[in-house]
Structure 1
Amino acid sequence: MLSIKENRAKTQLLWIGIGSICMFFAGLTSAVIVRRAEGNWLEFALPNWFLFSAITIILSSISLVIASSLIKKNKQPTAYIITTFLLSMVFVYFQFKGWQELTLQGVYLTGEGSNVAGSFLYVLTLAHLVHLVGGIIALIFAIYFSLKKIYSTDNMLSFKLISTYWHFLGVLWLFLYLFLKYKQEGSISFVFNNILSQKNYICNLIFTV
């Protein structure tokens, strides 16, 4: 009985953390909408590297879904967890390439040539990467547990928590990409409100995977 309570507590703690992250990014994206309406907003093309990042993180989630299905069959998921880890490294690489391209466009985080539009973009993408690093560390633990053959049908809570957090990071990046991609007046609010309207569906999808 204590074990069930502990498992429930760990799951609730994860969802509290996810809720806090959602509130943090909701605050940032709301600030973008308000600040853009004030004018003096630099328009620039979003690097395709960020689209490649979106594709990569989707593939990494698919790999974790396959790993989860293997655990439920009492098969070892190590190869697919490692695949997710490698894809996470590719994601990080694409992020850095995206920032590099932004600097070539004259879009900077701070400094004399910076604009608030560019600063917000860097803050949003950097904040996501910081949270992603936590997910990468969790994946390393998942690889270790898998190699030790700890995961099984009756013992996969830690994997569920790790995969739930990772899927959340994927959904969050897709939202941020669409938000930044369609930041023109009107469409930015449309994307923001449309995704918020689907938040219950998204949360249920993540929880059931």
Structure 2
Amino acid sequence: MNAQQNTIEPAETRSINPKVFTMWLFIVSIIMLFAAFTSAYLVRKAEGNWVEFQMPSLFTYSTGVLILSSLSMHYSLLAAKKDQFNALRISISITFVLGLLFLVMQFYGWIQLVEMNVFFVGNPSGSFVYVLSGLHGLHLVSGLIVLIFALVAAFRLKINAKQLTQIKICATYWHFLDALWLYLFVFLLINN
């Protein structure tokens, strides 16, 4: 028998891009954080002394804005795959502006809460709304930072059909943040 015939080829190992892996670890940690807060919300609500109030109308409108931003982010990815550089830059910019608009609307939603006499300090029902929306807003700021890096890379032509990792990370994270807000918004509507 030939020695070469007895040699077993090692199986091909699969690897994941370290940046993609880091993003997924970050997403999982965010999921765990918000799962803990929404669980605490339900436990505290069950204890009683819970003030019910309407969610600010601006939270509904800001949800629509965030959905639009998800659509523009998806278009960014499609443009990158087709090397449509101007469309890529424009759609990332639109996503960024819509993300900023969402944060501004959330802030004014907090003002609506104050006008309804729902404060951060006081009944826990209001505190939870501020904490959940505020933490999501903080994570959305991190998403805006990721968008800035993607926009700079798009202007430098570092995002193209052969180099999609950065825009895929950006799109995945942005869509996750949008889905997270949808979950939180529906959760607060149902459980308030």
Partner of 2:31, secondary structure, is: helix
State which structure, 1 or 2, has the greater radius of gyration over its C-alpha atoms: 2
Residues 14-29 of structure 1 mapped to structure 2, 5 A cutoff: 14-29=23-38
Distance 1:10 1:79 in 2: 25
Q: Give the corresponding residue for 2:116.
A: 105
Displacement of 1:8 in angstroms is 2.0
Residues 35-46 of structure 1 mapped to structure 2, 5 A cutoff: 35-46=44-55
Change in Cα spacing, 1:87 to 1:123, as seen in structure 2 (3 Å) is: same
Q: Give the corresponding residue for 1:116.
A: 124
Residues 180-199 of structure 1 mapped to structure 2, 5 A cutoff: 180-184=188-192
Partner of 2:51, secondary structure, is: coil
Distance 1:132 1:5 in 2: 31
Which residue, out of 94, 98, 101, partners 1:90?
Answer: 101
Identity of aligned residues (%): 40
Whether the 8 Å CA contact 1:48–1:98 is kept in 2: the answer is: yes
Displacement of 1:162 in angstroms is 1.0
Distance 2:14 2:137 in 1: 32
Distance 1:78 1:65 in 2: 13
Distance 1:69 1:7 in 2: 22
Unmatched tracts of structure 1, length 5 or more:
185-209
TM (norm. structure 2) is 0.89
Relative contact order (alpha carbons < 8 A, sep ≥ 6): 1 or 2 greater? Answer: 2
Number of equivalences: 178
* Greater CA drift, 78-87 or 5-14: 5-14
Unmatched tracts of structure 2, length 5 or more:
1-12
Residues 1-209 of structure 1 mapped to structure 2, 5 A cutoff: 8-76=17-85, 77-110=88-121, 114-184=122-192
Partner of 2:17, secondary structure, is: helix
Whether the 8 Å CA contact 1:74–1:152 is kept in 2: the answer is: yes
* Greater CA drift, 57-66 or 8-17: 8-17
Q: Give the corresponding residue for 1:189.
A: none
What is the RMSD of the two structures over their aligned residues, measured on CA atoms? 1.4
Distance 1:83 1:10 in 2: 24
Distance 1:32 1:170 in 2: 21
Whether the 8 Å CA contact 1:7–1:157 is kept in 2: the answer is: no
Distance 1:7 1:30 in 2: 32
